[in-house]
Amino acid sequence: MQFSTDVENIFTQEEIKDILRDEQNFYIEHAEKNWLNRYFKVKAMANETQVPSIVSSISDMPHGSSNFKKSKTEMYAIRTIQVSEWLEMLHSAIQSLSPIEQELIDLKYLRKRNDGSRYSDEIIYPQLYIGRKKYYKMKREALDILGRKLYGVFSERGYS
């Protein structure tokens, strides 16, 4: 309790609200930019049926040497595992949301229309039987939760 009182003495209520809003916006942006907007690309990588070359190189260089080349087979296997783990982590985070938030995220970010574009918000909130204002509030809260759960989980390399 003392910490809260000290913070309120340093910052005004309006400054505290701004700080919390900035923090929420950070996590929302993280969830959208680093996870949900990459979903279809990563999912496509997971579904690739490309078979790597079976030919592997043999070297007498130590494994940690900068001249050592990893085999294409090994690199393909590692990438496949990483992509599967990425998708599993995203779906696990989504499962932690309430059922209506899960459906919102699914409709907005994990499904596409026949023409390949995403569904607009105006199409989604009537399907969820909620009003526009409640929809946008729920969307922000769901994205904030996802961003917090997924922040720092994986290095973002290789999934862009």
Asked if 73 and 54 touch (Cβ cutoff 8 Å), the reply is: yes
Residue 2 has pLDDT above 90, yes or no: no
End-to-end Cα distance, the chain: 43
Residue 108, CA atoms < 13 Å, CB-side half-sphere = 24
| Sequence-distant (≥ 6) Cβ neighbours of residue 35 within 8 angstroms | 90, 146, 150
- pTM across the whole model: 0.76
Which of 43, 34, 32 lies closest to 142, judged by CA? 32
Q: Are the C-beta atoms of 70 and 56 separated by less than 8 Å?
A: no
Q: Structural domain boundaries of the chain?
A: 2-49+69-150
90's CB contacts (< 8 A; 6+ apart) are 35, 36, 39, 150
Place of tokens 């990563």: 42
pLDDT at residue 81 in the model: 86
Tens digits of per-residue pLDDT, 64-100? Answer: 555 455 667 777 778 888 899 999 999 999 999 999 9
For residue 2, what are the CA distances in angstroms to 12, 13, 24, 45?
A: 16, 16, 24, 51
Please give the radius of gyration of the chain, using alpha carbons only, rounded to the nearest integer. Answer: 22
Confidence of residue 13 (pLDDT cuts 50, 70, 90): confident
134 vs 57, which has greater pLDDT?
A: 134
